Structure 1
Amino acid sequence: MLRSGVTTLGGGAVPDRLAPERYQPDWIPQPVRRHSGGLDTLPVGSPGKVGVLDLAFRRVGGRTELTGHFQKAPLHITRPHYYDPAVPGMPYVMLMMSGGGVLQGDRYRVDVSCEAGASVHLTTQGATRLYRMEHDYATQLVELNVGPGGYLEYLPDPAIAFAGSRYYQRTAVTAAAGATVVLGETMLAGRLARGERHAYTAYCADVEVREPGGGLLFADPMRLVPGDMPVDGPAVMAGFGVVSTLYVVTGSHPAQEVAGTMHEALRGCGLRAGAGVLPEGRGAWARFLGERSPEVLAAFHGVWDAVRRLLLGVPAPQARKQ
């Protein structure tokens, strides 16, 4: 049904997804939080400032279907496509934003449920542009829940932190035993082609992966605040303009095997990069640092392709953004 720009599919009662406690983070790092308030434009909660997506995927017969769908502009999705002949039962879903980018006071939330045995690939329509923010800040919460035997890929395009932007993102994953989650994040330190570099006010991001009971498997925080701390040191951006990370949470293959596959795929990529095992042996991760996005994204695709061949026995498809 369609109500006030919100689409819901499926029966049953709809929870209050538009309540502020749903889309407002319960905790925000101080470098972002200190800029709260003082809006002289549309305040938080105004139409067009709160974007919500709630998607549910279930295995039906020989393929995965979108069985639950709630959206509120500016966030929405395309119709699921099944274009990869190597995995014909896996839908490819593009998360979209009706505006040109993320503005001050924007609050986004994305929830995805991938039930037992289901598989889905999620990506975005293009780079996420974080525009200059003179008042307040912007946030995005992403919650991914994957059931036993489920396989989920969440590989958004890069986030570009424009000069003066203030942004916090938390990606929280709950992975059941036997589930696999392939998660990617890429950040550009500004409009590099224009010579803009680390002119944003604050870029903070958290990745958290938990067991179904709530036990924390690992967390990976990123805090880039050029005015407060060096961001070009060896443990941060190391003088590069692009940082990208690929996490592979899985129990289907030994962590050392996954890390070795990622490491081998990085050979000769020409980037500052490395791979290692995740805590508790729950998979592996790789991080890439480069000067320009084309080289970093090419290396990212190469590692994703190697992981795909290991886990699914098929290559990674080329992106379709049209």
Structure 2
Amino acid sequence: MYLSGLEEPGGAGAGDRLAPGWYEPAWVPPAVRRHSATPDTLPVGSPGKVGVLELAYERIGERTELTGHYQKSPLQITRPLYHDPALRHMAHTMVIATGGGTLQGDRYRVDVSCGAGASVHLTTQGATRIYRMEQDYATQLVNLTAGPGSYLEYLPDTTIPFADSRYYQRIGVTADPEATVVLGETMLAGRLARGERHAYTAYCSDIEVHGPDGGLLFADPLRLVPEEEGVTGPGVMDGFGVLSSLYVVTGARPAQEVADALHEALAGTGLRTGASVLPGGRGAWARILGDTSPEVEEAFMRVWDAARRLLLGVPAPDRRRA
């Protein structure tokens, strides 16, 4: 069943999706929450300020199909494509934010369900630009669920926080022990070409990965508040302009083997990098710090490619096509 703008059986109704309890985070870090205010432009909840996207994928026959779909602008998607020459059964979907950037008072929520045996690649149409804010802040909730034997990649493009922006993002993953979730996140210190380096007010994010029983497997909080807490701590931004992370949550191969593959892929890049096993042995992760986007993007491609070759036996495709 393909649904657009309609109620899904067993899911939230259209009215529920537009209730603040659905799109507002249950908790926002104090560094962002303290800027809460009613904008003198469009307030929170106004048309165009709340983006909701729900996607459900299932393995049907020889390939993965989009079987459930709800979208509310400014969030929408392209139809799934099957252009990876090595994985013709994988559904590639691009998430589009029609507003062109994230503004004060924006609230986005994305829910993705990847059924048993399904293979999905999700990305965005371009960089996420978080614009200057005078009142309030912006948030995004991303919930990813991966069923038994599924393979889900969520690799959005770079996030660029403009000067005086305030932003909070929470990515929650629920992964079956037999599923694989590859999650990427890349952030610039600002519009570097314009001299905006850590000129944003607050950039905070949380990544939490849970098992199907709800138990927490690991969490990775990021708190960047330049004027108060600085951004030079270990594993954060230090003096670099670009921060990128790749998380490979899997039980398909031993965690140390995955970490070794990521570490080997980063050898010789000349960048500040590291790779290690995730807590509980549920996979591995890598972090990359560099001065410019091209060098970090190349290193990111190398670790993604290494993960794909190890887990799927195929190379990573060109991200501009994916």
> TM bucket by the smaller chain?
over 0.9
Aligned to 2:298: 298
CA drift at 1:184: 0.3
Tell me the CA shift for residue 12 of structure 1: 6.7
Relative to structure 1, is the Cα distance of residues 235 and 153 closer, same or farther in structure 2, using a 3 angstrom cutoff? closer
SS of corresponding position for 2:304:
helix
Q: Extract unaligned runs of 5+ from structure 2.
A: none
Q: Deviations over 1:112-139 (max 9, x none)?
A: 0001111100000000000000000000
Correspondence 1:64-83 to 2 at 5 A: 64-83=64-83
Partner of 2:99: 99
Q: Does 1:159 align with 2:150?
A: no
Rounded Cα–Cα distance in structure 2 between residues aligned with 1:192 and 1:71: 33
- Note if contact 2:123-2:155 (Cα within 8 Å) is conserved in structure 1: yes
In 2, Cα distance between the equivalents of 1:251 and 1:211?
Answer: 12
Residue of structure 1 equivalent to 2:59:
59
Checking the alignment, whether the CA contact within 8 Å between 1:168 and 1:204 is kept in structure 2 is yes
Distance 2:292 2:282 in 1: 31
Aligned-partner Cα distance in 1 for 2:181–2:135: 36
Aligned counterparts of 1:79 and 1:305: Cα–Cα separation in 2: 25
Q: Hey, what does 1:202 align to over in structure 2? A: 202
Asked if the contact 1:126–1:321 (Cα under 8 Å) also holds between the matched residues in 2, the reply is no
Alpha-carbon separation, structure 1, partners of 2:225 and 2:26: 21
Tell me which residue corresponds to 2:312. 312
Shift of 1:195: 1.4
How many Å apart are 1:159 and its aligned residue? 0.4
Residues 1:196 and 1:212: Cα distance change in structure 2 (over 3 Å): same
Structure-1 residue corresponding to 2:5: 7
- Give the secondary structure class of the aligned counterpart of 1:59: strand
Q: By how many angstroms is 1:244 displaced?
A: 0.5
Aligned length: 320
CA distance in 2, matches of 1:10, 1:162: 37
Q: Does 1:264 align with 2:264?
A: yes
Paired residue type of 1:267: A
Q: TM-score, normalised by structure 2?
A: 0.96
1:33 is the counterpart of 2:33: yes
Deviation at 1:85, TM superposition (A): 1.7
8 A Cα contact 2:2 2:68, kept in partner: no
State yes or no: 1:140 paired with 2:140: yes
Question: 1:71-113: per-residue Cα shift (whole Å, max 9, x none)?
Answer: 0000000010000121000010000010110000000000000
Equivalent AA in structure 2 for residue 223 of structure 1: R
Q: Is the 8 A contact 1:207 1:220 kept in 2?
A: yes
Distance verdict in 2 for CA 1:101–1:150, change over 3 Å: same
Alignment-derived partner of residue 183 in structure 2: 183
Which position in structure 2 is the counterpart of 1:250? 250
- Say whether the 8 Å CA contact 1:10–1:67 is kept in structure 2: no
Comparing 218-227 with 9-18, which one deviates more in the overlay?
9-18
Provide structure 1 residue ranges, at least 5 long, that are not aligned to the other structure: none
What SS does the corresponding residue of 2:21 show, helix, strand or coil?
helix
> Is the Cα contact below 8 Å between 1:9 and 1:68 reproduced in 2?
no
Distance of 2:48 and 2:2 partners within structure 1: 16
The Cα of 1:177 is off from its aligned counterpart by 1.4
Contact 2:77 2:95 in 1 (8 A): yes
Equivalent residue letter for 2:229: M
**Per-residue deviation, 1:320:** 3.3
Q: Which residue of 2 aligns with 1:285?
A: 285
Correspondence for 2:231:
231
Q: CA offset at residue 235 of structure 1?
A: 4.1
8 Å contact 1:233–1:239 — kept in the other structure?
Answer: no
Identity across matched positions, percent:
70
Q: CA deviation at 1:148?
A: 0.7
**Stretches (4+) displaced over 3 A:** 8-14
Q: Is the CA contact (8 Å cut-off) linking 1:9 and 1:69 kept in structure 2?
A: no
More displaced stretch, 228-237 vs 178-187 = 228-237
The Cα offsets for residues 10-29 of structure 1, whole Å up to 9 and x where unpaired, read as 66775222221010000000
Q: What amino acid maps onto 2:94 in structure 1?
A: M
- Root mean square deviation of aligned Cα: 1.7
- Displacement of 1:230 in angstroms is 1.6
Letter in 2 for 1:249: V
Q: Distance in 2 between matches of 1:236 and 1:265?
A: 21
CA contact (8 A) 1:250 1:283 kept: yes
Structure 2: distance between partners of 1:120 and 1:242: 27
Q: Distance in 1 between matches of 2:179 and 2:63?
A: 17
Counterpart of 1:185, as a letter, is E
**Counterpart in the other structure of 2:213:** 213
Tell me by how many angstroms 1:7 deviates. Answer: 2.3
CA distance 1:268–1:41, shift in 2 (3 Å) = same
Q: Is the 8 A contact 1:9 1:67 kept in 2?
A: no
CA–CA separation in structure 2 for the residues paired with 1:38 and 1:226: 24
CA distance in 2, matches of 1:266, 1:9: 45
1:123 is matched with: 123
